[in-house]
Structure 1
Amino acid sequence: MSPTPAVPTRLPALVLLVGLCISAAAGLALQHGVEARADTLLQHNAERVAEEIERRFRLPLYGLRGAASFLAASPQAGREAFRIHVASRDLPREFPGVRGFGFIQRVTPGQLPGFIAAQRADGAPDFSLKRLSGQPADEHYVIRFIEPMQANRGALGLDVGSESRRRTAFEHAIASGQPWMTQVITLEQDPLRRPGFLLYLPVFTRDAPQASTEQRQAALVGLLYAPIVATELLDGLVQRDPEEPEHQIDVTLSDAELDDPAAARIFDSRAAGLRPSRFEARKRVRLSGHTFNLLVSGTPEFERHARSASPWLALAIGVLASTLLAVLLSQQTLGRRNAEVRARRMSADLARLSRVARDTSNAVIITDTRRRITWVNHGFERLTGYRFDEVIDRTPAELLQFEGTDPGCIRRMRAALDAGQAFGGEICNRDKHGDLHWIELDIQPLHDGEGRLTGFFSIQSDVTERKLTEAALRASEAFLDKAGRIGGVGGWSFDLNTRTLRWTEQTGRILGFEPGHLPTVQDVFQCCDEATRQRLQQAIETRFAAGADRDLELAITTARGAALWVRLVAEGEYADGGMARIVGTLQDITARRAMEDDVRRNAALLRGAIDTLDEAFVLYDPQDRIVFCNDKYRQIYPTISHMLQPGARFEDIIRAAAQRGQVPAAIGQVEPWVAERLAQHRQGNTDLVQHLDDGRILRVVERRMHDGHTVGFRIDITDLVRATEAAERANLAKSEFIATISHELRTPLQSIMGFSDLGMHFAQDQEQFRQMFTDIHAGGQRMLTLVNGLLDVAKITEGDRTLQLRPANLAQLATDVARELHSLADQRQVRLQLQRADPLPQWPVEVDGFRLQQVIRNVLANAIRFSPAGSTVEIDGQATAAGVTLTIRDHGPGIPADELETIFDAFVQSSRTRDGAGGTGLGLTISRKIMRAHGGRIEAGNAPDGGALMRLHLPAAPAQPLDARTTA
């Protein structure tokens, strides 16, 4: 081969070009590495900020759950009790950003006037309903309590259901039974009008079913809520320490559920006018049913820290080395002999390189400037499955790329090749058989002697196995880290030979160290006090040989100064017949220890409270053995008090009491009485009266709890029983007295009425005397009515009035009474209307027809007397499987709400109708007693649009419905 004279001048230039390319590639790779490390560091910062935001947003929920426990323990607590509960918490320190805690109550429109009056009476005289929109609502959700009041006065009485964002959030909370947060809103009580939220916690009736949304709606008591100012809650979130530039970041938090960026932004620590950062990390944070967008970006200090001179240094060294090499080559001899020798050597080298390229396991491709293949080696055929003749004059892209190939990588590769530059990267290709391969590319441009581009040379390495391994490793590490964060458990290992310590990021978080910190044993010891350090040192020296030392609970102080309780569990790994390493877990158990302390305190408090009870108390376990009883319980049973100790069986206790004669009912029949008492006790819902041998009378109350324990009370009701018996005797004497006096009065009253009738007959021509006898007759009639009413009351009270029950039709009974009172209605200019359809509805009952018509007559006569002229008294009935209801409605002044029960008392009339009403005040008293004797009831009420309602409820007759014409 004859060498060309241009070779000596071209070779240095080619070497210089290749060197510059290699230098540029090295610098670019180093730059990519620097940026990748900065991105990783920023991601760690983003994780840390997200965890801190989640922690801060969880704090108000702790306060709400505390308030829920308070309301569960004191369901009748008023405004003052709620204020004292909230005042017991240090809100600025425990719950920064939380303006207070409040309670929202669901109120229907019909309940609203009474609700507002009740709140004004409960220490809020200025309480009134406030709405954020004028739209009417089927239900109001009104802020009943909000404390502290001084900072939240503007929110008291606000109907949070009158604004869509507030309403949507609490509807989600009720439907899910979980805490829920609103979108960004402006708090009514914040004078600065800053972005804020409302966090709701639904409160349900204890033990009510809550499996479905409908059940949760029915069981809803109200909603506890906390108004939160975002800027106060997140104050101090970004801490900029000049000594730690890697943590110099800016944080922006926005509402992900709002489209307007300005309205959605709730927190932004970036300085105004600052250019966007090169490094940014974005995350979505889910907090109490609401989604936020978190943007963490690097500050100028962070970017300066992330920069590195290594890429430029590598480039400069490469350029300098390439230049020196080119200079040295140019200084070589240009003699023909040396050129021929070099040519032969280069030919041999090229041959060897060709053999290497052909036989190497990597795929080698040479293309022209249009990227069409001109040559491939055997490695390409093995890797792709395509033969040499199948790929010639075709591009690698049309053969190997598919829809899953990364578009970004394709664009970068095309841009580099279009510019005639080298390209390196990793890409996913598909071979001839459809199998996927990850390929590491190294593409270099080829030039002729004059520097013109002639094609490209590509070496492709199959890195599929490495990529799969890396993906599996990343997934495993992510899974372990996530599991550790969720469970609060970190891992660690200690090499006994090298005395080196390793731990997971979660362990570092628990101990307060930054991510990436290289741990040492001294780091752990610095978190311990002297006693804990000695205990831990002894466990390490003994290689956790003792069983107790393998599971330790230690009090530590983290590197950040936080006091924690941690649980350390360890076990050994063995090699060459001995323990080589100790591995274990570290778990933050501070919350559990605090909960255990609370349980102990609450148990002591409960035991103290039980000891102060004035009633006898006992607690049995599921096996009916005594767990605890107070001294009052032992005093109730003095003959067996020595047996009343923890572990004593209920059966043994009652048998001993019966055998010692303490229970008179068991004398002579100990075993039957014990069997009956055991059966009552095991029902789990006992309420009985027990007589003791010393004359005392006890009320025995026993309730079975969900876990099988049984709570029992023994209440001394001796005085109550004796007082009740005395009252019953007095009431009987009163009834006998009334009956006697009434009988004695009837005879002279009859004589008075008879003589008054004669007087009216013989004094018809003398107006003055006739009017006097008429007045005497009217007064006597009223007295006789009163006496008859007293007799009815006395007989019904004593049980002497026996009802003659027969099947009857309530509709016909009501119709007959209406006919009787038609003249009274005409006199009052009142129309009677029986609401019924044709044919006459069947309202079957089994009643004493005479007595029931007496009730209907009393009620209907009252309705006629109290109705204004020209109005209508309506009589309506409804029959169901459970019974029959007769409703009589007038259009008079109605009955005050506080008198709906008292009007049924003897000699009592409504304050709105007593003037000029006449009557004795006994009609409704007699009516109620007759209805109760029938097993029914009578109720008073008011119609929504005015007038009184009287409802008579009777149980349905057991027989078949009667014909409409049947009467009693």
Structure 2
Amino acid sequence: MAPQRSPTLQQQQSASVAHASASASPERSLLEEELESSRRMLHALTQVHADLVSQGDPQVLFEQLLALVLELTRSQYGFIGEVLRSPEGTPYLRAHAIIHITPSGELRTHLAASPEEARAVYDLQTLPGTVLTSGQPVRANGLALEPHPQGFPVDYPLLQSFLGLPFKAFGELVGMVGIANRDEGYPESLIEFLQPLLITCGNILHAWRNDTRRQEAEQALRLQQEKMKKLALVAARTSNAVIITDAQGLTEWVNEGFTRTTGYTLEEVRGRRPGDVLQGPGTEARDVETMRQALRRGQGVSVELLNYTKAGDPYWNLIEIQPVHDEQGKLVQFVAIESDVTPRRHLEQQVALSVERLQLALESAEDGMWDWDLRTGRLTVSPRWLSMLGYALGELDPSPGFLREKLCHPEDRAELDRRMLEHQEGRSPMYEFEHRLRHKSGRWVWVLGRAKVVRRDKQGQPLRIVGTNVDITSRKHAQERLKAFIQAIPDMIFQVRADGTCLGFKASTLDAPLMSPEQFIGKSLYTLPLPEPVLAQLRRGLIGVLTGSPLEVFEYAVDTPAGPQHYEARIVRSDTDEAMCIVRNITERKATEEQRRRHAEELEERVRQATRELESRQAQLIQSEKLASLGQMAASIAHEINNPVSYVSSNLGTLEDYISVLRRLLALYLQVEQALEAQPPEAVAGLLQQTRALREHERLEELLGDLDDLLGDAKEGTTRIREFIQGLKTFVREESGEPQLSDLNKGVMMTLRMLRHEFKHKCEVQCDLAPLPLLRCFPTQLNQVFMNLLLNAVQAIEQRGEIRVSSRQEGNEAVVRITDNGPGMSEETLSRIFTPFFTTKPAGQGTGLGLSICYAIINSHKGRIEVRSQLGQGTTFSVHLPLITE
């Protein structure tokens, strides 16, 4: 239902004019006009209170009230505003509703088009400012001010008269109503008239402020609750231990991290001091006292302590404690965050131990160390340096000149001088050079020399150089042997840097080289006249081994005058930014692989052909087995069909005799009826006597009673014939190419009905079939499996026995078990029962394919067939089929 609305402005004016014209007395008209205005005012205020409850938007309500006030007071424009205060406490006015006459003469709402500044009055020297500062009504008539007084928008009309009325809420100045330009000015009585309006405005602002404060408080509460939830979640899930105590240091709460670290639960430590629980004999008393002194002063503290878990295991704990104060600054809690720093402590201990070991290693190092003071020219060498050249301590006191002239190989001196000078001048970060030194015995020792300037003067001139010499003679000899070994490899080998620069090259001994080694070494392989695909693969291989791959292999082909040649390239990393590439001609291998591929395809085609032939023959064997089974069932079929046909035929003959008697009786009844119409009662009595005698002699009531039973037997016989024939047709029909949903229990029951004659004289069949879901399968193939297993069970029973058939759902499988209490089988027989053409029956009584065909059928259904048997204890065949319906 739409809310009721007050009359429109035109309707109210028309009603007022009509009412005024109907009165002859001016005083009465004035009184009636005032009464009408009061009525309209009260009605509007009532409606505003209702709208305040339903809408809650003060701006809309103020606009409605302001429009009504301007109409009732016949003012040109006005405003309703809220009194606010600046941070310094100075009041200012913020308008919620402004209505005035624009230059075009249209009534509009000023708030919709004015900026924020136009809605506020800050100047307290204006008429509205006087109301704000005094808190009293301000009435001004006959004004002759400047065209645009301060505090009003510039597009307002000239100010002729003004009435400013403050309104309060619970004694507090909360707003004011201002109206202007009433032609006859504003009398004192108008202030009293507008008092209900002022009360209503105060109530609206007070309610709106309360609602705003409530919403802000609710929002702040929600934000605080969310923050507390997040903090609680962080504290609960952090790996660090968090403890909250009261101001006296007694535990109030711990998180799960504390329990994981210490083994103590919240219930075990609540109300206890953490130190009483965690500290032990190894805890440093000085650190504990430092922490306690800080807590007594209500200060935060950070300290590392050795604590103990509930199990007594020690661990190092970094504790950071911060005090928590309430709004009045009173200490209420301590929050401690504890981090297990045991791994760091252990690491520090390991580092200290490593430093000690490093010192010992340097003292016992195999490297020969030397120290050259350039200011004095003194060269100091270590004992290891002397022993590396065969000298004992004191036998040799080398100087730099002696070292160069007497010990250094003549071929290495120039390069040694160049590299040393380059490092001394700062053009290289370190001196490094492999060269030869003369041993005391006269042989040459290869050494790797490394050195670094460790002190320079203010001008950058070197003052001291420290270096080492490592005996690399064995490595050099190994490199020479490796070089000889590489030369013996027939493949092409080259060493390449990451940017493609060839560092070393050995041509293949099997292929004519495309270019000489000099054309490779020092050149970028990417600029050589090589096929672009080969270069792209080489680039990818280099990137691969230099970024972590242990080996990159690719093949490529090159057209040569002798025809296409195939190559295999193997790339391994040899240094930080270097790799070794071995290229081998694999043309013959490719030809061999192609020949093998063709042979493999031919062999696969032959296998597929043989498989197709085998599947065809297997289908023929299955069909042959069906026909063989049908031959064994011939006697059963004849017996099962003859019996119902015989008793149906006999019953129908008897029924024919009964019907003939009924016909004779009916004929006599007809004669009686005729006699009753034409003969005297004596003749009727005789006929009735004969009829009664015949009915008694032939026992007509018994005949009629047997008639229903005979007809029921005939129906049952015909039903059995239909079921048997339908089962026979189902068993012998050809299987379609697509599996279908089938009830496994129905297939078992149909097979049992077809073999009823086989069971009748040799055994009793006990069925225990549990409900099974529909199975997607080939039903006739599974029926053949059940047929073969049941026939084997019957044939295994020598005289009289029992066969139990059960079905169950076991997990994701349907299981059918067929158990007989026959003589059982030996271990040798069990190992061969699924072998084609194996049979234990006398010659001419079995093909040996029944169980092998059963095995193949179940295997094609992704199932399995199991057998359990012992001599003298019978045999159980279990057929497991997966319950997959799609």
With the shorter chain as reference, the TM-score category is under 0.3
For the pair shown, which has the larger CA radius of gyration, 1 or 2? Answer: 2
Q: Which has the higher contact order (CA 8 A, sep 6+)?
A: 1
Q: TM-score, normalised by structure 2?
A: 0.28
